[in-house]
């Protein structure tokens, strides 16, 4: 039931914005690798991957011309974008199957130093699953080409990620980089099959 509903939501996302759909799959894949490096398995891993797959579903309420704007966002436009975690939470919270995943999604833009949104939580208040998704989300955004900026490459990419320590959880960043060193992430962009929803079933077993 949970997997079926998740796939239905992903279908809605794909029909709304192809980039957001692909981004969700990549973030779920990276989040899974990080979690396993941290010793997270079973039900906890399942909830994390589901949350990662749906973390930006709130963006279906954001106009696509705003999501894909080539120029700098105005202050008002940025405030509209920042509404997406709350909108996702409102969608997911009323389904018992997504009860904890909804909270994870709500917090994925919170930051260790309290500079995130929507609530400005500090490190001790943020769920570990949200911290994992935050790192995966940030990394994928950095290495993806977007209308408003080119993707980062190689040394610059990892230097910027390391520079996020203090805002993103240091332990989670280190776990991610450990996976990179094991060659479990490099080249993942070209391996589309690793990002497909069916792989999740095996991940839970």
Which residues are within 8 A (CB) of 177 and not within 5 positions of it... i.e. 6 or more apart? 158, 161, 162
Question: What pLDDT score does 194 carry?
Answer: 38
Cβ atoms < 10 Å from Cβ of 144: 16
Q: Which CATH class is domain 2-204?
A: mainly alpha
Cβ atoms < 10 Å from Cβ of 105: 32
Phi, psi of 85 (to 5 degrees): -65, -40
Cα distances (Å, whole numbers) of residue 143 to 7, 122, 123, 159, 174: 25, 27, 25, 12, 18
Sequence spans of domains, the chain: 2-204
Beta bridge partners of 146: 149
**pTM across the whole model:** 0.88
Per-residue pLDDT of the chain in tens (205 residues, 90 and over written 9): 888 999 999 999 999 999 999 999 999 999 999 999 999 999 999 999 999 999 999 999 999 999 989 888 999 999 999 999 999 999 999 999 999 999 999 999 999 999 999 999 999 999 999 999 999 999 998 888 776 677 777 778 889 999 999 999 999 999 999 888 776 555 444 344 333 333 333 333 3
């Amino acid at each position: 039931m949970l997997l079926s509903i998740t796939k239905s939501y992903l279908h809605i996302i794909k029909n709304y914005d192809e980039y957001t759909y692909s981004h969700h799959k990549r973030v779920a894949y990276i989040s899974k690798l990080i979690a396993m490096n941290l010793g997270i398995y079973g039900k906890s891993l399942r909830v994390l991957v589901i949350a990662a797959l749906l973390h930006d579903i709130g963006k279906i309420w954001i106009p696509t011309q705003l999501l894909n704007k080539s120029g700098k966002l105005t202050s008002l436009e940025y405030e509209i974008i920042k509404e997406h975690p709350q909108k996702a939470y409102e969608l997911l919270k009323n389904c018992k199957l997504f009860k904890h995943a909804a909270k994870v999604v709500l917090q994925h833009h919170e930051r260790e130093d309290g500079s995130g949104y929507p609530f400005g939580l500090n490190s001790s208040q943020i769920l570990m699953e949200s911290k994992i998704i935050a790192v995966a989300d940030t990394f994928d955004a950095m290495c993806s080409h977007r209308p408003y900026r080119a993707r980062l490459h190689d040394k610059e990419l990892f230097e910027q990620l390391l520079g996020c320590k203090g805002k993103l959880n240091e332990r989670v960043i280190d776990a991610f980089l450990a996976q990179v060193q094991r060659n479990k992430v490099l080249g993942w962009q070209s391996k589309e099959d690793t990002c497909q929803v069916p792989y999740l079933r095996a991940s839970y077993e």
